[in-house]
Amino acid sequence: MSDQLFTFAALALYFAGMLLIGWIAFRRTSDHEDYVLGGRNLPPWVAALSAGASDMSGWLVMGLPGAIYVSGLIEAWIAIGLTIGAYLNWLLVAPRLRAYTEVSRNSITVPSFFENRLRDSTRLLRILSGVVILVFFTLYISSGMVAGGVFFESSFDGDYLTGMLLVTGVTLAYTLFGGFLGASLTDVVQGLMMVIALIVVPVAAVIAVGGLGEAGSLIAEVAPDHLSLLGGTALTGGTVLAIVSALAWGLGYFGQPHIIVRFMALRSPQEAKSARRIGISWMIVSLAGAVFSGLVGIAFIAQRGIDLSNPETVVLLMSQTLLHPFVAGLVLAAVLAAIMSTISSQLIVTSSALVEDLYRVFRKTPPPSARLVLFGRIAVLVVAIIAALLAIAPNDTILGLVSFAWAGFGAAFGPVILLSLFWRRLTNWGALAGMFVGAATVFLWKALGTGLYELLPAFVFAFVAAVAVSLATHRPNAEIDEEFAAASDMIAVPRPRTVTETP
Using CA atoms, how far apart are residues 286 and 475, in angstroms rounded to an integer?
Answer: 47
Instruction: Give Cβ neighbours of residue 485 (< 8 Å, ≥ 6 apart).
Output: none
According to the model, what pLDDT value does residue 209 have? 93
Task: Please say if the pLDDT value at position 501 is more than 50.
Answer: no
Q: For residue 266, list its beta bridge partners.
A: 42
Nearest to 40 by CA among 264, 212, 339, 309: 264
Q: Give per-residue pLDDT as tens, 207-256.
A: 999 999 999 999 989 888 888 887 666 566 667 888 898 899 999 999 99
User: Are the C-beta atoms of 266 and 93 separated by less than 8 Å?
Assistant: no
First-last CA distance in the chain = 59
Residue 397 φ/ψ region, left for φ over 0, alpha for ψ in the -120 to 50 degree band, beta for the rest: beta
More confidently predicted of 357 and 48:
48
Rg (Cα) of the chain, in Å, rounded?
A: 22
Q: How far is it, in rounded angstroms, from Cα 329 to Cα 5?
A: 10
Residue 96 has pLDDT above 60, yes or no: yes
List the domains of the chain with CATH numbers: 3-391 (1.20.1730.10)
- Residues 6+ positions from 322 with CB-CB distance below 8 Å: 201, 204, 205, 208, 328
Q: What are phi and psi of 449, to 5 degrees?
A: 65, 50
Question: Where does residue 148 rank: exposed (0-12), middle (13-18), buried (19+ CB within 10 A)?
Answer: buried
pLDDT at position 86 over 90:
yes
SS3 category, 240: helix
Identify the pLDDT of residue 324: 87
pLDDT at position 407 over 60: yes
Q: What share of the chain is helix, strand, coil (3-state, %, to 5)?
A: 80, 0, 15
| CA–CA distance, 470 with 497 (Å, rounded to integer) | 31
Cα distances (Å, whole numbers) of residue 439 to 129, 255, 258, 473: 10, 12, 17, 22
User: Could you give the CA distance from residue 467 to residue 355 in angstroms, rounded to a whole number?
Assistant: 30
DSSP code per residue over 114-178: HHHHHT-TT-HHHHHHHHHHHHHHHHHHHHHHHHHHHHHHHHHS--HHHHHHHHHHHHHHHHHHH
Q: CA 333, CA 341: separation in Å to the nearest integer?
A: 12
pLDDT at 484 over 90: yes
Measured CA to CA in angstroms, residue 444 lies from 401, 437, 441, 457 at distances of 16, 10, 5, 11
Poorest-confidence range of 340-349, 419-428, 494-503?
494-503
Please report the pLDDT score of residue 502 as a whole number: 40
pLDDT for 453 beyond 80: yes
* Separation between Cα atoms, residue 314 and residue 307, nearest integer Å: 11
Give CA–CA dist 140/405, Å, rounded: 6
- 10 Å CB burial of residue 439 (0-12, 13-18, 19+) is buried
Q: What are the DSSP calls for 63-83, one per residue? A: IHHHHHHHH-GGGHHHHHHHH
Over range 455-481, report the average pLDDT. 96
Q: Is 210 left (phi over 0), alpha (psi -120 to 50) or beta?
A: left
Strand, helix or coil for residue 42: strand
**What is residue 402's predicted lDDT score, i.e. its pLDDT?**
77
What mean pLDDT comes out for the span 394-417?
83
How far apart CA 48 and CA 38 sit, in angstroms, is 15
**CA proximity to 353, closest of 143, 108, 181:** 108
Task: Provide the percentage of residues in the chain whose pLDDT is more than 70.
Answer: 91
**173, 380 contact by CB (below 8 A):** no
Mean pLDDT, the chain, rounded, equals: 86
* Residue partners of 302: CB distance under 8 A and separation at least 6: 218, 221, 222
pLDDT at site 282: 94
Q: Which of 134-143, 181-190, 211-220, 391-400 has the highest mean pLDDT?
A: 211-220
